[in-house]
Structure 1
Amino acid sequence: MMDNLRAASNHVVLKIILGLIILSFVLTGVGNYLIGGNSDYAAKVNGQEISRAQLEQAFNNERNRQQQMLGEQFSQLASNDGYMQQIRQQALSQLVDQALLDAYIKDLHIDISDEQVKQAIFNQKAFQTNGKFDNAKYNGLISSMGYSADQYAEALRKQLSNQQLINAVANTDFMLKGETSKLVDLVSQKRDIRQATIDVNALVAKQSVTDDEINQYYQQHKSNFMAPEQFRVSYIKLDAASMQQNPSEAEVQSWYDQHKAEYSQPQRNRYSVIQTKTEADAEALLTQLKAGGDFAELAKTKSIDPISARKGGDMGWLEPATTPDELKNAGLTEKGQMSAVIKSSVGFLIVRLDDIQPEQVKPFAEVQSAVADKVKQEKGVDAFYKLQQKVSEAASNDNESLAGAEQASGLKATETNWFSHDSLPKELDFDAVKQAIFNGGLVGQNGAPGNNSDIISVDGDRAFVLRISEHKAEAVQPLEQVKAQISDTLKHEKAQQQAKAQADKLLADLKAGKQDALTVAGLTLSAATTVDRNAQDPVAQAAFNLPQPADNKPSWGVSEDMQGNVVLVAVDKVSTGSMPQAQIDEMVKGVTQNNAQLAFEALLQNLRKEAKIKYGAAAQMQ
C-alpha cells in the first residue's frame, strides 16, 4: 500500500508542511479533545463524532497561534468574517484528519506503552526545574488546566502514536546511489559563458516623446500618480514617568506595612503520598505503615501514581496555591504526622507531612529601596491620572484648539510636519493614536482642522490628546507635476523595446552562422567566465535555461542584467562540478523528507477518499 501511495505522491507539486496536519496536544487544550459530543456536532468521521466543543477549542488554538505569528496585522484580518471562517474550516479540517489518523493507527495496531508515556512526561521541559523533572510543577500545571493525570496521559499517548506513524512514513523514502550521482551532477553543473551588452541607458538619450504620448500615458495610468492622504497634527503627550516624586520615609514605611504579603514567602509543606485504587488496598497499607513499614519503599512498590512513586511518594515543596485540597484537608500539622485513608478523585490516598518551612518575611531595611521605587512610581501614576482628567476636561471644553489643554497640563503642544499613513512620526507610532488620526473622525470639512481627540492612553502609562491641524485628501497629482517622470518612463520603454528588437535580430543572425553580426553592430563579447547554479546574476541564471552547445558552436540566448540592459549570452562549455559530502548528505536528506511529506499527504488524501464524512451545523457557526 505504501508503495502505491509513494508513487501517487510523485505527482503532487506543492510541499506539505507536516506540522499543519498534526494537532498539538501537549499543554494546548488536551482535555477538550477528550470531551464527548452532543447533537450540535461539527462533523462525523466514519461515525465518530467531532463535537462543537472540540471545534471551538481547535479554532481558539489556531486563532491564538496566528495572532502570535501575525501580531498587529491579525486585528485587521480578524475583522474579516471570511478570514475567520477560513481559520475555522482549517481547524475543522485538522480535526477530521486527526480522526482519520486515529482510526488508521488503531487498524495498524500501533501501541504506546505506559513506560513510553511516563518517559515522555519526564522529558517535557515544561515539567522540569533545572533540567530535572519536578513533580510539584507537573501537578500544578495540569491541575491549572483542569485535567487529571489520566486525561493528560491519554492525550499524550495519542500524540506519541501520531509521531510513530509519521516516523514510519518518513523512513520509507530513500535515494539510490545512481539517483544521487545524477542529482549531484545536475546541481553542481558549471557553464562557461560570454556576453555582449546593449546599453539601454545609452539608447534612452536618443529617444523622443510627444505631448500626446505623455498625456495618453497619464490618462491610462492615473492610479500610479496618486498623492497619498496627508496630515499635520498638534499633540500634547503626558507621561507618568516624568511626574514621579521621591516619597517620604513615612510613606515608604506605610506602604510596606500594607503590602507585607508581597515580601513574604508563605509557609511551605512537603508531603509524601501513596495512591491506591481501592479503599481496602489503602487500609492494608496503612496497617503496614502503623506497624513500622517503610513509607518510601511502599510508595515505590504499591502506589499507582507513577510520578510520585518514582520518588518514594515525595511530592516536593508545595505552597498553599499548589497544594491539592485533599492534602490541605488532611489536618496534618506536625512533621512525620500521617493521615488516615483519604478518598479523592483519583482513588484513595495515604498522606504524610514530611517537613514544614515557616512563612518568611523580608525585613523593611532589606527592601526599603525597592519599596521606595514602587511608592515613587505609584505617586507618579496617581498624579498622571489626575492630570489626565484635567487635560481631558480642558480639551473637551475648548474643542477648537489645544490652548486649554496646554494651560491645564503646563505643556506646550508639538506640531508635526506633513506625513502620510506610511510615514507616521515615531513619537506617535501607537495603534490607538494611529486609529484616532486615520479613522476620519478628527478631520474637518475641506481639509479644515476638526475637533480635539479624547485622551488616548498607550503603553507604559502614557497618554496623548491631539488634533489634526491640516489635512490633504488622497488625490491624483496634476500632469505638470509628473510630466518629466512620464517622459523618462516612455523614453526608457522605447529604448528597452529597441534594444530587445536589436538583440532578437542579432540572435537570429548568430544562430544562422553570421559570425560578424556583433562586430557590425558595434558590440564585443566579454571574456569567458564560469558560473554555477547558485549565481544570483540573472544573465548567469538565463544561461542554465539554454541548451548545451553542440558541434563546437556556442548556444545563444537573450537576457537582461541587473541594470536593465539587454544582454546576448553565449554558452561555450558545460562541465560537471563537485560538492562536499556534507552538502550531498543534506541535499539527499531534504529530497527524502520532501518525498515523505508528499507520501503522508497522499495517505491522508486516500483516507479521506475512503471515509464517510458528514458535517454538522456547528461547522458553520461563528
Structure 2
Amino acid sequence: MLERIREGSSGITAKVILGLVIATFVFAGVGTYNNNVDTSVAIVNGDKISQQQFDNAYQNQRNRMQQQYGEMFDQLAGNELYMQNLRTNVLEQQINELLLDQHAAKLNIRVSDEQIKQAILTTPEFQIDGKFDNNRYLMVINQAGFYQATAFRDYLRVDMTRRQLINSIMASEFSLPYQQDIAVKLANQTRDINYATISAEQFKASVDVSEDEVNEYYQANLARFATPEQIKLEYVHLDINALKADVTLAENAVNDYYQDNIDSYSTVERRRASHILIEFADDEAAAKQQAEDILAKIQAGEDFAALAKQHSADTFSGDNGGDLDWFEKGSMDPNFDEAVFALTLDNNLSSVVKTDFGFHIIKLTDLEAVTTQEFAEVKAEITELLKQEQALETFYALQGELAEVAFESPDSLDEAASVVNAEIKQSPWLTRGAAMAPFNAEVISAAFSDDVLLDNLNSEVIEVATDESAMVVRVLEHKPSATQPLTQVSEMIKTQLVSTKAAEQAKQAADSLLAKLVAGEDVSATQFVAVADVPRVGGTIDGNVTKQAFLLAHPTEGVVSAGVAALNNGDYSVVQVTKVTAGVAAETDANLGEQQVMSASQATFEGYIEDLKAQAEITRNLPSNSPQF
C-alpha cells in the first residue's frame, strides 16, 4: 500500500534506496515513553531515536524477513551474531532517515496537503472498483496501526518530504551515449583463450603428512573441532489443529450461522450510471438553470453522452459520455446516492440533483441485483470457520491453564500435560544457533535461558506460531560445548592437510608452466584447451578461468598475456589470452542507460549520507541486550 503511494512521488532509483517495510505498515515513530528516563538508542544532532521507535522498526524488519523467508527465518533468528547485525543495521537506517528529515527541514522542503490528498486518493488499496472509498481507507489504515487519519497523513508527509529530497539528490545523474557505448563494448567483449589445468589430485599419492603436522594443525584450530552446546528437551505441545479435529458442532450450528450472516454470502447491489455535472461557479442560480436546460434537451431526445462531453465539468467522466462505471450504495455524495438508487431501468433519468460539487443530471445505465450463495455452496467453508473458532476458544483457555500449572509445578511437566490432555514429547538434540520446526528461535531462546537451563525449571508458555500452537519446555539432557579429541578428528585433519599440500604442488607446477609460457619456451608437452569467444558472463568454462582471462591485459606482439587461476577444487589453471573482441553497439541492452544512472545515483546517495554523518553529532546507545522479540 505505502509503496504504491511512494511510486507517485519518487523515481525508480529512489525506490531502490529507501525500501521501507510494507508488510506491517506500522510507522516506527508512533508512540513515545511517558517517563523522565532517557531510553533513546541514538541521538542525532540533538534529536532522539527512542527505544520504542527502534523496537517498532526492528519488529517491522523481523516481520518482513519472516514473511520473506518463512521457516528458514527461524534458523537466522537463532544466530545471535546475525540478529545483532540486523539490529545494528536497523538503527543505522533510522539514523539515515533522521538525517534526511533534518536536512529536508533545513532546506525548507515541504509537501502540500493537496499532494498528500492525491497520494491517498490514487492508492489502489483505498479503492473499490477503481474509485476511492473512505470506509475502506479508514479500515486499511486502522489495520496498519494508524487509528487516526491525521497520524497516517503525518506519516505520509514525513515520507514524501524525505523522498522529495532524495529525488533532488539523485536526479542529477545521467548517462551519455559515449558512456553507454563504452559499457556495451566492455559488457559484450569476448576473448579467445588457451588454458591448461593442473590437477591437484595427481600429487596426493606422493604427499606425506606427519603426526606432528596433524597435532600442530589440531592445536592451531581447536575452535574448528568444538562441538556446540546441545540440549534435549521434553515438552508439552498445544496445537490448534489437533484441537480442531476433536470439535463436534451442534446439529444446526452451521445453518444458523449461515442465516445469521446471510449478508456475508450475498453480493451488494451495484449500479452503473452516467452524469452531467454543472459546477456552481460564481452564480449558483445560473448553474441550476443551465442544468435544467440540459435536462430539457435530454428529455426532448438529445443524446445524453454527447451533452456530457460538451457540458460536464467532470471532464474525466465527460470524455466517456458521463459514465461513472459501477459503484455501490454509499460510495457517492448522499444526495447523488439517493437519486441514483431511486431510479429504475424503465425510469432511468433523474431531475436536477444538487450536491456539494454542483448540479447533476443522472442517468441509470445498468444494475446488478443482489445475489446470494446457496447454503450448500458455503456449508464446508462455514463448518471449517466454526470449528476454527471453537478450537481457538479452547486453545486460549487451555493455554491459560497450561501457563498456570507449568508455573505452579515448575519441576515437572506431568501436571501440565494432564491439564491439557497432551503427551510429553522429546526433542532431538538442539543447539543455540540451529532452530528447527517446531522449535523456533523463541523456543531455543527460552530453552537456553538461565531459568530453564541452569535452574531446571519449566519455561513459560511459548508461542510457536501465532494463534496456532504453543508449548512449555524443560531441559531433559544437556551437553556443554566441548572440543573433540584428536583421536576422533585426526583422519579428517590428515585428509585436509593432504589436499592442502597437493594444491600447493599444483600451484607450483602452474607457476612453473606460466613462467615457461611467458618466456617463450616449449610447452607442447602440456595440453592446452583453446576456446574462442569466451563471454564475460555465462560461458561454459570454469568461472575462475573466465575471471582470470578478463583480468589479463590485451595481448600485444611479442608479449604473452597469461596468468594463473585458482579453482574451487584445489586445481590451478594457466590461462592465456590470444585475442580480444570488443562488443558492438547493436548488442546493447535497452535498459543499460537506466542501469548506469541507477548505479551512479546510488553511489551519489550513499556519498551524500556519509557526508551528512561526517558533519553530524551522533551518539549511539543501543544496548547489546535490547529486546530480541
Alignment correspondent of 1:514: 521
Give the one of 473, 490, 500 matched to 2:480. Answer: 473
Contact 1:267 / 1:358 at 8 angstroms: preserved in 2? yes
1:236 positional shift: 3.3
1:227 positional shift: 0.5
The reply to whether residue 242 of structure 1 matches residue 247 of structure 2 is no
Change in Cα spacing, 1:17 to 1:97, as seen in structure 2 (3 Å) is farther
Contact 1:193 / 1:543 at 8 angstroms: preserved in 2? yes
The reply to whether residue 548 of structure 1 matches residue 551 of structure 2 is no
1:150 positional shift: 11
* Secondary structure of residue in 1 paired with 2:430: coil
Q: In 1, distance between residues paired with 2:46 and 2:317?
A: 34
The reply to whether residue 564 of structure 1 matches residue 559 of structure 2 is no
- After TM superposition, the structure 1 stretch with the greater mean CA deviation from structure 2, 156-165 or 214-223, is 156-165
Q: In 2, distance between residues paired with 1:149 and 1:567?
A: 61
The reply to whether residue 587 of structure 1 matches residue 585 of structure 2 is no
1:194 positional shift: 2.7
**TM-score (structure 1 length as normaliser):** 0.64
Alignment correspondent of 1:227: 227
Change in Cα spacing, 1:285 to 1:80, as seen in structure 2 (3 Å) is farther
Q: In 1, distance between residues paired with 2:556 and 2:120?
A: 64
1:472 positional shift: 0.8
Alignment correspondent of 1:533: 536
The reply to whether residue 453 of structure 1 matches residue 464 of structure 2 is no
Q: In 1, distance between residues paired with 2:211 and 2:156?
A: 78
Give the one of 423, 440, 443 matched to 1:430. Answer: 440
Deviations 1:70-96 (A, max 9, x none): 336689758987555423311112224
* Secondary structure of residue in 2 paired with 1:567: strand
1:135 positional shift: 5.7
1:468 positional shift: 2.3
Give the one of 488, 493, 510 matched to 1:486. Answer: 493
Alignment correspondent of 2:14: 18
Alignment correspondent of 2:99: 93
* Secondary structure of residue in 1 paired with 2:528: coil
5+ residue gaps, structure 1: 1-15, 34-49, 107-111
Q: In 1, distance between residues paired with 2:620 and 2:338?
A: 48
Alignment correspondent of 1:463: 470
Q: Amino acid of the residue matched to residue 536 of structure 2?
A: R
Q: In 2, distance between residues paired with 1:425 and 1:154?
A: 42
Q: In 2, distance between residues paired with 1:399 and 1:58?
A: 36
Change in Cα spacing, 1:340 to 1:495, as seen in structure 2 (3 Å) is closer
Give the one of 65, 70, 79 matched to 1:70. Answer: 65
- After TM superposition, the structure 1 stretch with the greater mean CA deviation from structure 2, 358-367 or 249-258, is 358-367
Aligned length: 549
Deviations 1:21-42 (A, max 9, x none): 6799x99899x99xxxxxxxxx
1:557 positional shift: 2.0
1:444 positional shift: 4.8
Q: In 2, distance between residues paired with 1:394 and 1:29?
A: 36
5+ residue gaps, structure 2: 1-11, 31-44, 67-72, 143-147, 297-303, 344-349
Alignment correspondent of 1:43: none
Deviations 1:386-423 (A, max 9, x none): 55556556655665444444554554433233333455
1:456 positional shift: 3.0
Contact 1:59 / 1:87 at 8 angstroms: preserved in 2? no
Once the two structures are superposed, the pairs formed by residues 167-566 of structure 1 within 5 Å of their partners are: 169-170=172-173, 172-176=174-178, 180-243=180-243, 244-252=246-254, 370-388=381-399, 395=406, 399-426=410-437, 428-444=438-454, 450-457=456-463, 458-515=465-522, 519=525, 524-530=526-532, 531-534=534-537, 535=539, 536-551=542-557, 554-566=560-572
Q: In 2, distance between residues paired with 1:290 and 1:151?
A: 40
1:165 positional shift: 5.3
Q: In 1, distance between residues paired with 2:160 and 2:431?
A: 55
Alignment correspondent of 1:574: 579
Change in Cα spacing, 1:487 to 1:85, as seen in structure 2 (3 Å) is same
Q: In 2, distance between residues paired with 1:149 and 1:561?
A: 55
* Secondary structure of residue in 1 paired with 2:149: coil
> What's the C-alpha RMSD, in Å, of the aligned pairs?
6.2
Q: Amino acid of the residue matched to residue 514 of structure 2?
A: L
Q: In 2, distance between residues paired with 1:308 and 1:148?
A: 33
1:339 positional shift: 14
* Secondary structure of residue in 2 paired with 1:249: coil
Q: Amino acid of the residue matched to residue 124 of structure 2?
A: K
* Secondary structure of residue in 1 paired with 2:431: coil
Contact 2:193 / 2:575 at 8 angstroms: preserved in 1? yes
Alignment correspondent of 2:301: none
1:538 positional shift: 0.8
**TM-score (structure 2 length as normaliser):** 0.64
Change in Cα spacing, 1:165 to 1:60, as seen in structure 2 (3 Å) is farther
Q: In 2, distance between residues paired with 1:508 and 1:618?
A: 54
Q: Amino acid of the residue matched to residue 538 of structure 1?
A: N
Q: Amino acid of the residue matched to residue 19 of structure 1?
A: K
Q: In 1, distance between residues paired with 2:457 and 2:561?
A: 70
1:248 positional shift: 2.3
Contact 1:273 / 1:314 at 8 angstroms: preserved in 2? no
